[in-house]
Structure 1
Amino acid sequence: PHEIANVCGASGIEYMLAEGARTSLDILVMLPSCVPATPLDVGGAVLAATDLAGFRGREGVIGLAEVMNVPGVLAGDEDLRAKMNLFEVVDGHAPFLSGKDLNAYIYAGTGSDHECTTLAEAREKLLRGMYILVREGSTEKNLKDLLPLVDACTAPRCCFATDDRHADMLAGEGHIDDCIRKAVASGLKVEMALRMATLSAAGRFGLHDRGALAPGRLADFCVVDDPERFHVLQTFKRGVEVIDAGYRLPVCPAATLNARVPEPRDIRIAGKGEARVIGIVPGQITTRDLRCPVDAAGIPDTGRDILKAVVTDRYRAGGSGIGLVHGFGLQEGAIAGSVSHDSHNIVAVGVDDPDIVRAIGEVVRLGGGLAVVSSREVTALPLECAGLMSALPYGEVVQRLGTLEEHARRLGSIENPFMYLSFLALTVIPEIRVTERGVFDVLAFADVPLLEE
């Protein structure tokens, strides 16, 4: 809901609620707290507290999602405070926050965090009363590092999270069931892993009528093959087995891309000096602020793996911001996509300016999607639902995503390139990012020059 609201506004939330109501399972929604993610970001919508108030009490709406505008909370932003006052359950989103600022953030009403990447960070937040959602996604591998936090005393305050998992990982490895398997394989007692997946999560979100097989609770449960593998064989909702009804073509919300594809000359950089380079951290959502001596005439620098990153405004036919990134590994070609947290502008990384432009152009031509281009080949996956989701059956999405990633691998790419790509513009996770305006320093909360000559 947070992602589609940043593209489509309140109508995107309505779309998610309507689609969720068409399944016999529960799709429970936390309303997006930050649309846009920060006051500096410009996306497809702005949602104030008055916009969210109309959703309070709706079936399936259980709270307020990840409050990521941490500076706004600490500064006492009135609209943000009004949003937080709408709900009893408010999720946090505060990577690296510590000390008195953390105290103030919790005092404002946030009750959980899924952005912990170190045991020390998770322990500090837990000891201050937060629930810790232990995350294991496609590129955010935090479970193993955080698992020592969980014991008989802390398990009631610990849950699993899977933000973010691509369709291929969901199909191949699973969801919360995968977290259980990995936790048990890493030494956590089975009972604690199961509690994190069920009763602890139900308690966190105020779902006191479920989470355990007990008198007075809903008979929502899964049957698994054995306690070693945890592969789900059957799912029951209120005591009735749920049978997959199969694929149904969804109605996609309208979300026109109004983007101006740049020319190669529009994304040139000039000069030389110390550059602010976005350093990809393998297995993490965070980045490093690398300071590298750069001569623009020598970019791309495939020897040092310093490539150009471009973010193109998808909403108002505006310009493109340019940054540099280390860690993608591409030796030729370019990749681009319209999944670009949180504003979801078009983001691209590549070795060659014409290929970067071609990749952005392919995404625009599709009306949203993911694309890989090289000298003789273009591979793409259309995302016709708001530029974020595919309307294809998930098996076909997985197959086509595999084809995309295989093409990218042949160009030298890091594993899961589109997940790392989608986070390059995420202005609420340290240390630096790139937006349609240019380089953004998350810790300073300000746009900064690419080159210091």
Structure 2
Amino acid sequence: MDRAERRTHTGADRRRLVRVARGHEDGDLLIRGAQVVQPATREIYAADVLIADGRVAALGSGFRAAQVIEAQGAFLAPGFIDGHVHIESSLLTPAGFARATLPRGTTGVVAEPHEVVNVLGVAGLEWMLRAGASSGQRVWASAPSCVPASTFELGGARVGAAEVAGMLRVPGVLGLAEMMNYPGVLGGDAEVWDVLEAGQRSGLRLDGHAPCVTGRDLMAYAAAGLHSDHEATTPEEARERLRAGLWLMVREGSAARNLDALLPVLRERPRRAMLVSDDVSVDELLELGHLDRLLRTCVAGGLHPSDAVALVTCNPAEYWGLHDCGLVAPGYHADLVLLRDLSGFEVLETLVGGAPAVAGESTPALGGGGVDLGAGWASADFTVPDAWPVIEVRGDQITTGVGAPGSGDARLVVADRFGRGQWATCWTSGSGLRGGTLGISVLHDAHHAAFLGGTDDDIRAAGRALEALGGGVVLVEGGEVRAALPLPFAGLMTDAPPELAAARLGEVTAAARALGCTLPYPVTTVSFLGLTVIPALKLTPGGLLDVTAWRLLPD
């Protein structure tokens, strides 16, 4: 619940909850015969749950209400909260994301909208909250801290400390989004510290992002005032973050899968931990699920069901200061999920505010953010400098390896899509792509255009296709578009139904696999090959970046 909503919750509303809880007035809804999952006390117990005015009024027995749901022994848990997610990475608008995840029990998300903000500036965050308000899901946000992510990239917008301070005052914004420029934090970069200090003055959460940062550097990063990190990939890194006082966000997305590796730490029952998806594609959401899938993995891996549920309910709610979300308890929002069992986590019913969850059908308009590769694109040269190392692509992580020059098998082109007419080319290995070109306008975080594989002619054709679509995903072979998913919202999202978006994305993936691509989620993986704050090599329109050395390589 955002600050504006808190202000409108008057004493009269609470007085009715008191009357209903005491039996002086009937409730609106009664869930009878449930097994309540109480993560705060690590209990599962039988109780009826009484709801009034969208909130839980009481638990027990002998209640009366206008409507009754017979749970028949099913398990009633708090609605799931994803504490760190880039909705744009699903390729869906907030309404589409809600359509894909509400049936999976996700009732709330803390969106980190730096994708759309990198394209459109502060207007992108404002749009995300408006679109979230009509999505049918509770959508809060954090204020992007790194737009651009580093000095080595620039998308469609630049956001400084003054703009960040303004965003932190917007109702629905819960804190400062992930501080990705950790070299700037550790090195005392003045602009980075201006943003950090704006976050500190707000009194809200300061989200962290510290890949491969350990030892004294991690201590220094935590000492700067950051509160969390979602970049741990090993148990040792996870424990080190917890010992440093950072909340542990265990990420399991389409391009970075860390849950299996970090399960031993979660079995130790760290209280200051949560499960997040970060970046998850629409096809995976529909095929495998959202937070429900992560819960299945946790329980199968030995966690007590209540401990697992805490990771997606009361823990993220506590971290973000959502004091009336995350529990089945009196006075809390009746955001609830009825589950058949606590192993498969099959959702029988999702409630938001005490009513059956219904995703929104419309999305507010969003102007701008198309694709303009510049006048020189028609004759662009994509020669790779001989001395450049090769980006080793990994299908299950967003970090990359470093290969020797000459060891690549597919070219990568990254081109400025905001009309500045700049591009660069390097070699990659690990994708398996042997022909054709995969073209995307979703490239974290500046969101330029990226093209993997193919002849010069196919790369140019893929660029022209993206320009014609206003952004999207295409697979070109022999100069012809074989498959495409248009993304007209800032070149990042579609308002098509999730099933249709997944089908079109599946056609692109199938076409890429027919040409040898072995990446499980090729679009998502390629979309991270330009992110300048994730080691080890990344490509920008200005050249190949050695993230570890923090420098662009010479031609």
- Using the size of structure 2 for normalisation, the TM-score is 0.76
Deviation, structure 1 residue 377: 4.2
Deviation, structure 1 residue 132: 0.9
> Which of 484, 494, 500 lines up with 1:396 in the alignment?
500
Deviation, structure 1 residue 189: 2.0
Residue 116 of structure 1 aligns to a residue whose secondary structure is coil
Give the unaligned 5+ runs of structure 1.
295-303
CA distance in 2, matches of 1:70, 1:206: 25
CA distance in 2, matches of 1:342, 1:143: 23
Residue 262 of structure 1 aligns to a residue whose secondary structure is helix
Deviation, structure 1 residue 419: 0.9
Q: 1:309 to 1:111 in 2, by over 3 A?
A: same
Task: Report what 1:299 is aligned to.
Answer: none
Task: Report what 2:284 is aligned to.
Answer: 169
2:394 partner amino acid: V
Answer whether contact 2:175 2:199 (CA < 8 A) is retained: no
Task: Report what 1:286 is aligned to.
Answer: 399
Residue 54 of structure 1 aligns to a residue whose secondary structure is helix
* Pair 1:386-2:487 in alignment: no
* Pair 1:52-2:164 in alignment: yes
Residue 81 of structure 1 aligns to a residue whose secondary structure is helix
Deviates more, 1:257-266 or 1:53-62: 257-266
Task: Report what 2:81 is aligned to.
Answer: none
Deviates more, 1:224-233 or 1:132-141: 224-233
CA distance in 2, matches of 1:280, 1:187: 32
Answer whether contact 2:168 2:199 (CA < 8 A) is retained: no
Residue 434 of structure 1 aligns to a residue whose secondary structure is strand
Answer whether contact 1:249 1:391 (CA < 8 A) is retained: yes
2:262 partner amino acid: L
User: After superposition, where does 1:127-146 map in structure 2 within 5 Å?
Assistant: 127-146=243-262
CA distance in 1, matches of 2:203, 2:541: 33
Task: Report what 1:436 is aligned to.
Answer: 541
Aligned-pair Cα RMSD in Å: 1.7
CA distance in 2, matches of 1:348, 1:243: 38
Deviation, structure 1 residue 252: 2.7
CA distance in 1, matches of 2:342, 2:411: 47
> Which of 288, 307, 317 lines up with 2:420 in the alignment?
317
Give the unaligned 5+ runs of structure 2.
1-112
Residue 235 of structure 1 aligns to a residue whose secondary structure is strand
Encode CA deviations 1:186-228: one digit per residue, 9 max, x unaligned: 2222121111111111111111222111233222211122212
1:255 partner amino acid: G
Q: 1:23 to 1:354 in 2, by over 3 A?
A: closer
Residue 467 of structure 2 aligns to a residue whose secondary structure is helix
Deviates more, 1:431-440 or 1:410-419: 410-419
Residue 150 of structure 1 aligns to a residue whose secondary structure is helix
Q: 1:341 to 1:82 in 2, by over 3 A?
A: same
Answer whether contact 1:26 1:60 (CA < 8 A) is retained: no
User: After superposition, where does 1:13-412 map in structure 2 within 5 Å?
Assistant: 13-76=125-188, 77=190, 78-85=193-200, 86-151=202-267, 153-154=269-270, 156-245=271-360, 247-248=361-362, 250-260=364-374, 262-263=377-378, 266-269=381-384, 272=386, 274-292=387-405, 294=406, 306-375=409-478, 377-378=480-481, 379-412=483-516
Deviation, structure 1 residue 265: 5.1
Deviation, structure 1 residue 241: 2.6
Encode CA deviations 1:306-338: one digit per residue, 9 max, x unaligned: 211101111133221111111111111111100
Task: Report what 1:422 is aligned to.
Answer: 527
Residue 347 of structure 1 aligns to a residue whose secondary structure is strand
Deviation, structure 1 residue 239: 2.4
CA distance in 1, matches of 2:297, 2:430: 27
Matched residues, number? 436
Encode CA deviations 1:159-180: one digit per residue, 9 max, x unaligned: 0011111101111211111110
Deviation, structure 1 residue 23: 3.4
1:439 partner amino acid: L
1:287 partner amino acid: T
1:390 partner amino acid: T
Deviation, structure 1 residue 364: 1.5
Answer whether contact 1:10 1:51 (CA < 8 A) is retained: yes
Task: Report what 2:12 is aligned to.
Answer: none
1:281 partner amino acid: R
CA distance in 2, matches of 1:319, 1:161: 35
CA distance in 2, matches of 1:312, 1:233: 46
Q: 1:215 to 1:265 in 2, by over 3 A?
A: closer
Identical pairs, percent: 39
1:425 partner amino acid: G
CA distance in 1, matches of 2:498, 2:522: 19
- Using the size of structure 1 for normalisation, the TM-score is 0.92
CA distance in 2, matches of 1:153, 1:90: 24
